[in-house]
Structure formats: structure tokens, C-alpha cells
Amino acid sequence: MSIENQIKTYIVENFLFSDNGYELIEDASFLEEGIVDSTGVLELVMFVEETFDVTVEDEEIVPENFDSVGQLAAYVRRKTA
Amino acid sequence: MLVQDFLQNSAERFPDKTALVCGGERLTYAQVEAQANQLAHALIAHGVERGDRVAIYLPNSVETVVAIFAILKAAGTFVVFNHTTKRDKLSYILNNCRATALFTSERNASLAREIRAAVPSLKFTVLSGERAVAIEGSCYAFDDLLAAHPTTRPSCPTIDQDLACLIYTSGSTGEPKGVMSGHNNVVFASASIIRYLENTPDDIVINVLPLSFDYGLYQLLMAFRFGGTLVLERSFAYPAAILKKMVAERVTGFPGVPTVFAILLQMDLSPYDLSSLRYITNTAAALPPSHIMALREKFPWATLYSMYGLTECKRTLYLPPDQLDARPGSVGIAIPGTEVWIEDEEGNRLGPGGVGELVIRGSHVMRGYWENPEATAGCYRPGPTPGEQVLYSDDLFRMDEEGYLYFVARKDDIIKSRGEKVSPKEVENVLYGIEGVVEAAVIGVPDPILGQSIKALVVVDGVALAEKEVLRHCRAHLEDFMVPQIVEFRDSLPKTSSGKIKKTDLG
């Protein structure tokens, strides 16, 4: 499964509440769209660390890395490269 | 003085000073004033009348700030929603206050249409966002409204007895109640707080708290009143981004809640030059003494204020910073110009050591709950002089020999999570909306980050239900901070002799 799909699956299972086939767009802002709330970001960090076996530094937890499927996948690629 | 004078006076004194930094935008006082005037003219032109309630359902943003002051300038009363509020509660509150107009973002356009159908009092909607366009049937784009109206100040009939805002808060009954804040109440409370925080126009305050929350809202109101700069952020979701912003803007004032500080204390702060920080404030829930110590070690140059308050009177107590070492567990004394005492159940005032309910007296005591005389009578009661109301806090306190106050416990079962009040009843009502849930109880359990985390205990009959399904339903119907962290399935729940669920046995 691609990194994007792994992230999507996690988000859909843990944060999305709609059962009516909400389509998670790759560049949709998690916070702006209300997909992930403020403590949800910390859950997302834990998910990334456990799933992709990387250590997320505090200063990396910024919207540029964590606020959409696309940004998060790019970040994971950089970390695991 | 009126609340809009906070902006108007600063726009006259410091027209070119930066009033607001938000996202990528920087606005001077003159710019905020001009936009608020334009929008106020638009509101009046579209039928907002004196005393009308106008609601704002937006995240922290420039539009929210402009709308707050525009509503006041149009002689209206503003109501700010937490932007994670869901449809049913939105409709409930909009109907409860019979709102005339609603501000929201273009991404909520379809929700706004549904709400228009469910709230007969709504005359029009204003959508903001780059792609916002006017839609037939009295739905306007924010920027179009600004462009169509002059920047001159509209005449305003408001006096300080009129209501500036309604702030909705959770109660033990589960139904949100709108605390009525008169202009005079807000003017008094903000002056008292500014006095003890010793704010000056040099202060640059960062606000990560929602403007729907009185603690967040007053950061805006106070900064505009003392002519400082407000750095407005959406949330504390990305702590590192906030810290960078604090460094870049040379922030002097940092208001937070225990959850914010708990996250901060886990971080390595050495990369950030926070030497500009003059003060830190905490309220909404008590900061554990260990966190007070740790914060003082990390920021020895900043003054830390421990405070206590409730929406019903804004702020109540603050601990003068020179007392922090001597009594770190105390939340201090009454804010300037007010008084408090502790009463037992028979109404006797208690001295040092006695535990009783905190009673609050002063011009910061708000007017009660919007169209809810029963709830109002429960905590706003006659005071020592004729015609006056004092506030019964529902919180138990004790006092030491020198008169400093200590929070003991709440009298009701309200949970404090992330500094916000969560009504167990409100969450239980949502749980009962899930097919198959026959019993539900919601309690708070201690949590190092959240203060209290929310635990839901449910009994299910006839269907198989997974934790995720319960959480999904909760996320669809509750604000973020009300969604349980823990769901536990039980075969049954303990009951009292009268058949009510006995929560004391659930911990």
C-alpha cells in the first residue's frame, strides 16, 4: 500500500465520521476542513512514528509537514529516504 | 464606554499601529476600524436592528475580528460559535437566541443552507473565503459587503446597558445556556484584568484559544482596549509553529490553559528565543504546582499569573505573582474592584479553613442566561444592596489565614477537559442517539495533558457496536473538546435506589 493510502486509511478509520463516502482529497487541510482537531495532531504524530518507524522532532510538527495527506506523505518520504 | 470604543479609541490614538496579525495578514488599527465600519453599514442595510443577535461560525480569523466589531457598531449583540460545533447544536443555539444573521465560511455553504431552513429568524448569511460568492436568497460574500459600503463610522444608538455578546456555555442540564454580557460588564471586567496584568500599548499578545471561549475573546477585546497587538492563531495544534511565531513577533503575553502548558513543557524550547515574553497567564483549570515550577524554570524572566473564573462573570480571582512561591496552589484574591466570599449551605459566610461555595460580587457579574430565568435564578441571586445580583459559582473553595483562595471541587458533575467545560449530560444525550445504546454514563478521569479526559461507559443491547462507531457518532455531533477519549462497554451500570445511574461507583 502506498504511503498516501496508509495515511488515508488511518485518517478515515480514526477521524472521519461521515459514512456517506466522504472523499479525502490529498491536499485538503486537516485543520481547515475540521478533519483532525488539535489533539488529533498528536495522535497523527504517534501514528507516523509507529507505522513508518521514524522519530518526529518537535520542530517538525508544523502544518507544512502535517496538515494534509500529501504533505504528510512527502514528509514521511523525506524521513525514510 | 462601549466595547466598540476599544477599537475606535485605539484607531484614533494609533491608526498606523499593527492591531492584528493573523495567518499571513497584518492589519493596522485604522484598517480594522475601516473594515468594521464597512461591514456595520452592510449589516444595517440588510436589516440588523438594535439588540439583534448576529452569530459568527468561523475559526479564529480576521473576518471573525472584523465581524465582532461590526456587529457592535451596528448596535447588535454578537454570538461566537466554536468552529467545531455541529449542525444540531448550531441550530439549537441559533434558534435559542433567534439570530438575525450568520457569518460562516464558503466551505460551510451547504450547511448554511440547511441551517437557514431550520432557523426561521435568520434573515441572511455572510460567507467568507476566497471563493465566496453571493448566492441567490440573501446569502452574501464577505468581501462584497465590505466593498459596497463606506468606511465612515455609522451612528450607533447603543448605551452601556445593552448586551454586547452572548457566550454559550455548557450546563449540567446538557442544554447550552447563553451568558448575557452587557457592554458595562465587559468594559468593567476587561479594565480590571488589564489593571492587574499591567498591560501597556507595548504588549504583543498571542492567542491560540478560540474566540468562542471567553478567555480567548477577551485577549482580543483587551489588546484592542490597551492599544497593543494581537497575534491571532487558529489553535495550538502545531506547537512548534506557535513558538516560531512568538519568536518572530516578539510576543510579550502568552495566555494558555493547562493542556497548552503540559504540551509546551514536554518540548525542547532551547531553539526558541522567547526572551520578549513578559507574562504568562493560566486559567480554566488549575495548573499543577509541578507545572508552575517547571514553567518558572523555563521562563524565569516572565511573570506567571494563576487565575480562576467562569463565563458567568468572566474572571473572578488572580494570584498576585509575588505570592506564587509562598502559595502555588492558590488562585488568589478577587480581581480589582470586586469582592468574593465563601458561604456554607445555610448562607453563612465562612472564615479561613471552611469549605463552601464561592460567591462573587461586582460589576463583572453578568446579567444571567438568555431567556432562561430558571437557570438564572439558580446562580444569580439577590446581593447585599437592593437590585443587585451576586453570582453563586457552583465551585467549592477554601481560604487560608491571609485570605487567599483555593479551589476544592465542583458542586456539579461538569468535566473540565482542555480547560473547557464539558457537560456529561450533553455527551450522554449524543450517546443515546446511537442505535442499540440503552444506558450511557460519562465521567471525567484525571489526565496529565487534558486535565480530565472524557470516559464514556455504555451498555448496548441487541446490536454489535465497536468503539470506533461510538467515536464516529460523537465526532459527528459534538465539538472536538467534548468527544470522549475512552469508550468502555459494560453489561450494566450501577444504579441508585431511585434507578438513576450511580456515577460515583464508576471511577
Q: What is the CATH number of the domain that holds A63?
A: 1.10.1200.10
Q: Tell whether B179 is covered by a domain.
A: no
Q: Which of B83, B237, B450 sits opposite A41 (nearest CB)?
A: B237
Chain A interface with B: residues with Cβ < 8 Å: 13-19, 31-34, 36-42, 58-63, 66
Nearest residue of A to residue B483, measured between CA atoms: A37
B378 in the same domain as B278: yes
Say whether B450 and A39 touch across the interface (CB within 8 A): yes
DSSP state of B321: G
Q: How far is A6 from chain B (nearest CA, A)?
A: 18
Q: What is the CATH number of the domain that holds B436?
A: 3.30.300.30
Chain B interface, best mutation among A37, A44, A61, A66, by max B CB count within 10 A: A37
Question: Which domain-ending residue is among B362, B390, B410?
Answer: B410
B478 in the same domain as B499: yes
From first CA to last CA, the distance across chain A in angstroms is 17
B391 in the same domain as B429: no
Say whether B473 and A17 touch across the interface (CB within 8 A): yes
Helix runs in B212-273, H state only: 214-226, 239-249, 258-265
Q: Tell whether B393 is covered by a domain.
A: yes
Chain B interface, best mutation among A13, A16, A17, by max B CB count within 10 A: A17
Q: How far is B228 from chain A (nearest CA, A)?
A: 27
Q: What is the pLDDT along chain B (507 residues), one digit of tens a residue?
A: 999 999 999 999 999 999 999 989 999 999 999 999 999 999 999 999 999 999 999 999 999 999 999 999 999 999 999 988 999 999 999 999 999 999 999 888 889 999 999 999 999 999 998 777 777 678 999 999 999 999 999 999 999 999 999 999 987 788 899 999 999 999 999 999 999 999 999 999 999 999 999 999 999 999 999 999 999 999 898 999 999 999 999 999 999 999 899 889 988 999 999 999 999 999 988 888 889 999 999 999 999 999 999 999 999 999 999 999 999 999 999 999 999 999 999 999 999 999 999 999 999 999 999 999 999 999 999 999 999 999 999 999 999 999 999 999 888 888 988 888 899 999 999 999 999 999 999 999 998 888 899 999 999 988 889 888 898 889 888 988 899 999 999 998 888 777 778 887 776
- All three cell numbers of B288: 499543577
Scanning the structure block, which residue is given the C-alpha cell 478509520?
A13
Q: How far is B455 from chain A (nearest CA, A)?
A: 16
- All three cell numbers of B225: 482596549
Q: How many domains does chain A have?
A: 1
**Positive/negative CA dihedral, B186, B191, B196, B199:** positive
B420 in the same domain as B395: no
B460-491 burial: b if 16+ Cβ within 10 Å, else e: beeeebeeebbbbbbbbbbbbbbbbeebeeee
What was the pLDDT predicted at B410? Answer: 84
Residues of B in contact with A21 (CB under 8 A): none
Residues of B in contact with A14 (CB under 8 A): 468
A5 Cβ contact list (under 8 Å, min separation 6):
none
B285 in the same domain as B357: yes
Residues of A in contact with B234 (CB under 8 A): 31
B447 in the same domain as B481: yes
**Residue (of B245, B448, B238) closest to A45 by Cα position:** B238
Give yes or no for residue A18 having a pLDDT over 70.
Answer: no
Asked if residues B53 and B81 have their Cβ atoms less than 8 Å apart, the reply is no
Q: How many domains does chain B have?
A: 3
Residues of B in contact with A34 (CB under 8 A): 83-84
Residues of B in contact with A16 (CB under 8 A): 472
Q: Which of A13, A31, A59 sits opposite B237 (nearest CB)?
A: A31
Q: What is the CATH number of the domain that holds B124?
A: 3.40.50.980
- All three cell numbers of B373: 430565568
B239 in the same domain as B210: yes
Say whether A14 and B239 touch across the interface (CB within 8 A): no
Q: How far is A63 from chain B (nearest CA, A)?
A: 7
A20 pLDDT band, cuts 50/70/90, is: very low
A19 pLDDT band, cuts 50/70/90, is: very low
Size of interface A-B (CB pairs under 8 A): 54
Q: Tell whether B165 is covered by a domain.
A: no
Asked if residues B166 and B178 have their Cβ atoms less than 8 Å apart, the reply is yes
Say whether B240 and A34 touch across the interface (CB within 8 A): no
Asked if residues B53 and B263 have their Cβ atoms less than 8 Å apart, the reply is no
Q: How far is A17 from chain B (nearest CA, A)?
A: 4
Residue B147's H or E segment, with its range, is helix B142-147
**Positive/negative CA dihedral, B79, B61, B122, B7:** positive
Q: Tell whether B19 is covered by a domain.
A: no
Name the β-bridge partners of B179: B167, B369
B195 in the same domain as B128: no
Question: How, if at all, do strands B163-169 and B77-80 pair?
Answer: parallel
B316 in the same domain as B205: yes
Chain A interface, best mutation among B60, B480, B481, by max A CB count within 10 A: B480
| Domain ranges, residue A68 | 3-16+24-80
| Domain ranges, residue B45 | 29-158
Q: DSSP letters of A3-49?
A: HHHHHHHHHHHHT----S-----TT--TTTTTSS-HHHHHHHHHHHH
Q: Tell whether B140 is covered by a domain.
A: yes
Say whether B480 and A18 touch across the interface (CB within 8 A): no
DSSP state of B432: T
Question: Which domain-ending residue is among B389, B410, B431?
Answer: B410
Q: What is the CATH number of the domain that holds B360?
A: 3.40.50.12780
Asked if residues B257 and B215 have their Cβ atoms less than 8 Å apart, the reply is yes
Q: Which of A16, A34, A66 sits opposite B84 (nearest CB)?
A: A34
Say whether B267 and A60 touch across the interface (CB within 8 A): no
B239 in the same domain as B290: yes
A11 pLDDT band, cuts 50/70/90, is: confident
The strands making up B279-282's β-sheet, listed across from edge to edge, are: B25-28, B18-22, B229-232, B204-207, B253-256, B279-282, B303-310, B314-318, B333-334
B425 in the same domain as B375: no
Q: What is the ipTM of this complex?
A: 0.83
Residues of A in contact with B241 (CB under 8 A): 61-63
Q: Which of B240, B271, B473 sits opposite A61 (nearest CB)?
A: B240
Say whether A66 and B238 touch across the interface (CB within 8 A): yes
Give yes or no for residue A12 having a pLDDT over 90.
Answer: no
The greatest distance separating any two alpha carbons of chain B, rounded to the nearest whole angstrom, comes to 68
B201 in the same domain as B137: no
